[in-house]
Amino acid sequence: MTELLTNVGYGSWVLDALLVVPLVGALAVLSRPAHQAKQVALIAAVVEFLISVPLWWAFEIGTATMQFQHAYPWIPGWGIYYVVGVDGISLFMVLLTTFTMPLAVLGSWNYIKDKLRPYYALLLLLTTGMLGVFVALDLFMFYVFWEIMLIPMYFIIGVWGGPRRLYAAIKFFIYTFVGSLLMLVAILAMYYMVGQTTGVYSFAYQHILENIGAVGPWGFWLFGAFALAFAIKVPMFPFHTWLPDAHVEAPTAGSVILAGILLKMGTYGFLRFALPFFPTIALHPTVVTIVVGLAIVGIVYGALVAMVQPDFKKLVAYSSVSHLGFVMLGIWALTIQSVEGAIIIMINHGISTGALFFLAGMLSERRHTREIAAFGGIAKVVPAFACVLTIVSLSSIGLPGTNGFIGEFLVLVGSFGPYPWATAIAATGVIFAAAYLLWALQRIIYNKFDKPENENLPDLSGRELLVLAPLLACILWIGLYPKPFLDRIEASAEELITTVQEQEVSLAAAHGSEEQVP
């Protein structure tokens, strides 16, 4: 396999292809008649996924260096390059994206009824935007993609969303945009400061990382700008209120992508930029207290608020706040188990919460309501749906044997050393998670069957099973045999930890800052 891939030069073109194919697909969608839009989009998304699959084997295990990396000049005069590459942190974000998109297209099949061509074109444009964020190794390029992905999402919510779609779309847009504006300022500031010190003006990730000492006392503000942009995206408590609105109003595929991929950009940003760039600030006791504190507040608060939601999609949205809290805790604990666990949760959340949103969408397609109270006892009429919903819920509450357990367990076991009390509080999240999901499950599929409207609910169709089956397979695969995933993450996670720790030591020494690390 590897030999074949080398022969076709797979590594040298795969990332470019992944960025270009969706764009070509989008153009194809626009150039064909509307009734073919979804077929063309599906083909493009599947091709995209197939191109990405060999990454699994081509990716070299045991090294933390950026792989498949290459650069083209973009605006070389300003030090802007097109630089792409993946490591163990971004590999799975890329695969998660390419894996989710065909399912998102299939999941939109009957849900989206009008303006088909722009919808599917935007979906494909979004794919490019998201992948660009994960593979960009030039800060300017990263920022461009970060903004590119915002626009299709804005339209997907605003045009194809629910009744309050405009409010939700604008809220989503402004909220994210405020954060990213600050990030742009920070990127520009770093560009100038590093340029002035080194004489080389470049947005290259590696260049800025190596000379980050140049920002001197400005580090705090720069970190703050990055952290705010990412914290909104995660979203961390208390920057999360755009999420329930956006999720609820977005069409099914929008919610799935939002939860499955967009939120991960926040945590990815912390892993890739905020932490390695500003280790002294990120690990400053005050910052640690705030971040870890907000993470555990998010875990417990998100779960408790999720519990009392009457709207199933909102419930899942708040549960995301809780899950992402685990990721933040794991990242900040900065042990090998906790960081790998955090990345596993990022993958898991895409799978399990994605599946929950698909299931929620299937319910509302049938009954045109998302109210939990509109159901009850429907396991009787839709047994397959009930079975899948149960399995996905169990994965979401971290039942051992499913993917959810691996991530939560690794994060908690790794965070317990540095932050025993915070971890103990975080671990109560497993109780609350069981409470909110099982209660919802009971009110949807169990209890008295007393709503005549549910009498003729059709069970899962073949197409719907096709959407859910790959997600179920991943739930069990990661739950039972996560080793191939962990193997691919390990070197990069280790590298991140040592980089941050070394940087912290050297920068602390260089600036004589007050928090000397022994």
Partner 1 sequence: MPASVGWVWLVVVLPFAGFLANGLISFFWPKAKRAVSAIGVGVLVAAFAVAVSVVNGLSSDLHGAPYVLTYWSWMPVGELEIAVALQVDQLSAVMMMIVTGISALIHIFSVGYMRDDPGYPRYFSYLNLFVFFMLVLVLGANFPVMFVGWEGVGLCSYLLIGFWYLDKSNADAGKKAFIMNRIGDFGFLIAMFLIFQATGSLSFAEVFEGAPSTFTINGGTVTLITLALFLGCTGKSAQIPLFTWLPDAMAGPTPVSALIHAATMVTAGVYLIARANVLFAMAPISSVVVATVGVVTALFAATIALKQWDIKKVLAYSTVSQLGYMFLGVGVGAYAGGIFHLATHAFFKALLFLGSGSVIFALHRAYHHTGSHEDAQDMRNMGGLRQYMPWTATLMWIATLAIAGIPGFSGFFSKDGILAATFARGHDHPVFYFLWILGAAAALLTAFYMTRLMLYTFHGRNRSGKDEAKHLLEAPWVMTAPLLVLALGSIFAGVVNLPHVLPGAGWLEHLFEPVTELSHRYLPEIHLSVTTEWVLIGVATVIAVAGISAAAVTLKPESLKAAREAPEESGLQRVLLRKWYVDEIYDALFVRPTVWISRNVLWRFMDVGVIDGALVNGSAWSARAVGFIGSAVQTGRLAWYLLVFVIGTLVLLRAVM
Binding of residue 491 to partner 1 (CB under 8 A) = no
Please select the residue that binds partner 1; options are 231, 275, 282, 430, rule is CB under 8 A.
430
Asked if residue 238 has a cis previous peptide bond (ω within 30° of 0), the answer is yes
CB 257 within 8 A of CB 157: no
CB of 44 to partner 1, least distance (A): 27
Look up tokens 């666990």; give the residue. 341
CB 229 within 8 A of CB 269: yes
Angle at alpha carbon of residue 119, lines to 23 and 350, rounded to 5°: 80
Please select the residue that binds partner 1; options are 449, 477, 499, 508, rule is CB under 8 A.
449
Please select the residue that binds partner 1; options are 416, 460, 488, 492, rule is CB under 8 A.
416
Q: Tell me whether residue 215 or residue 486 sits nearer to partner 1 (CB atom).
A: 486
Q: Tell me whether residue 27 or residue 144 sits nearer to partner 1 (CB atom).
A: 144
28 closest CA partner among 125, 162, 132: 125
Binding of residue 174 to partner 1 (CB under 8 A) = yes
Q: What residues have CB less than 8 Å from 515, skipping those under 6 apart?
A: 280, 283, 284, 285, 508
Q: Taking CB under 8 A as the criterion, which residues in 293-332 touch partner 1?
A: 301, 304-305, 307-309
DSSP output for 369-432: --BGGG--SGGGT-HHHHHHHHHHHHHHTT-BTBHHHHHHHHHHHHHTTT-HHHHHHHHTHHHH
Whole-angstrom distance, CA of residue 126 vs CA of residue 132: 10
Binding of residue 35 to partner 1 (CB under 8 A) = no
Whole-angstrom distance, CA of residue 364 vs CA of residue 244: 16
CB of 105 to partner 1, least distance (A): 26
Whole-angstrom distance, CA of residue 466 vs CA of residue 460: 10
Please select the residue that binds partner 1; options are 38, 117, 165, 171, rule is CB under 8 A.
171
Backbone dihedral angles phi then psi of residue 201, each to the nearest 5 degrees: -90, 110
Whole-angstrom distance, CA of residue 200 vs CA of residue 187: 15
Q: Tell me whether residue 311 or residue 504 sits nearer to partner 1 (CB atom).
A: 311
Binding of residue 464 to partner 1 (CB under 8 A) = no
Asked if residue 458 has a cis previous peptide bond (ω within 30° of 0), the answer is no
CB of 20 to partner 1, least distance (A): 24
CB of 42 to partner 1, least distance (A): 28
Binding of residue 381 to partner 1 (CB under 8 A) = no
Q: Which stretch binds partner 1 (CB under 8 A): 25-33, 325-333, 476-484, 501-509?
A: 476-484
Binding of residue 109 to partner 1 (CB under 8 A) = no
Please select the residue that binds partner 1; options are 294, 374, 445, 496, rule is CB under 8 A.
445
Q: Taking CB under 8 A as the criterion, which residues in 135-154 touch partner 1?
A: 147
Please select the residue that binds partner 1; options are 74, 380, 470, 477, rule is CB under 8 A.
380
- Count of residues that interact with partner 1, criterion CB under 8 A: 71
Binding of residue 409 to partner 1 (CB under 8 A) = yes
Q: Tell me whether residue 232 or residue 283 sits nearer to partner 1 (CB atom).
A: 232
* Amino acid letter, residue 296: I
Binding of residue 357 to partner 1 (CB under 8 A) = no
Q: Which stretch binds partner 1 (CB under 8 A): 98-106, 237-245, 249-257, 352-360?
A: 237-245
- Tell me the Ramachandran region of residue 217: left when phi exceeds 0, alpha when psi lies from -120 to 50, beta otherwise: alpha
Q: Tell me whether residue 11 or residue 161 sits nearer to partner 1 (CB atom).
A: 161
